[in-house]
Chains A and B, each alone.
Chain A
């Protein structure tokens, strides 16, 4: 099984629908992230969570919400999907970087391709 699992892997929906993308990890990492990837734009951070009680907005959080249900689970919701939210979404995890210890290396899920019609 993958260390970081995203569901669903592909989803086609209609404008105005509520969508949830789920992410679970077996790495035991405190830090989890949601990114979206668009052609020509690179990865952009939507939300991140450094522990269960710590959630922060990234650079493009408008139109999205998140829930950190447990250390291992971090869900991304689109309350009312719109076509320009069509993108490839990635969940990632990392350890807390510590000098001489953990590197803060990122571990990504396989991605969730969302199409909003």
Chain B
């Protein structure tokens, strides 16, 4: 079982819809990242959070440490939001071999006009 599970794997929405992508993890973490990858493109960091909620424009990320769960929400979705969204959890603190960042397999979001 992968330590980081994302759902759904694929999501198709109509422009304007509210989108939720979920991430569950099975290990203790020090932080969780949400990343965005456009087709053929690089990877951009959207959020890094260790508790509570963060908002940036139409994107909202929440995390529940007790339930080992995070969600990424997109309000008023737009075709330019079409991308793969990746959840990654960081465990271990400090430096050296204690560091570990584990990635989910990603959620492919397609927003149709």
Contact = CB atoms under 8 A, between A and B. Distances in A.
Interface of A: 33, 40-45, 48, 50, 54, 56, 90, 92, 96-97, 103-111
B48 interface: yes
6 smallest beta-carbon distances between A and B, as pairs: A108-B43, A110-B42, A43-B103, A42-B103, A42-B105, A50-B95
B31 A97 contact: yes
In which size bucket is the chain B interface? 20 to 34
A103 B106 contact: no
A104 B99 CA distance: 12
Given A43-B86, A54-B95, A105-B48, 9 more contacts: A33-B101, A42-B106, A45-B100, A45-B101, A50-B96, A103-B48, A104-B90, A108-B42, A108-B45
Contacts of B101: 33, 45
B105 A40 contact: yes
Contacts of A43: 86, 88, 103
B108 to A, nearest CB: 11
Interface in B73-108: 86, 88, 90, 95-97, 99-101, 103-106
18 contacts: A41-B105, A42-B105, A42-B106, A48-B99, A54-B95, A54-B96, A90-B43, A92-B43, A96-B95, A104-B31, A104-B48, A106-B43, A106-B48, A106-B88, A107-B45, A108-B43, A110-B42, A111-B41
B86 A97 contact: no
Nearest to A30: B95
Nearest to B42: A110
Interface string B30-71: 110101000001111100100000000000000000000000
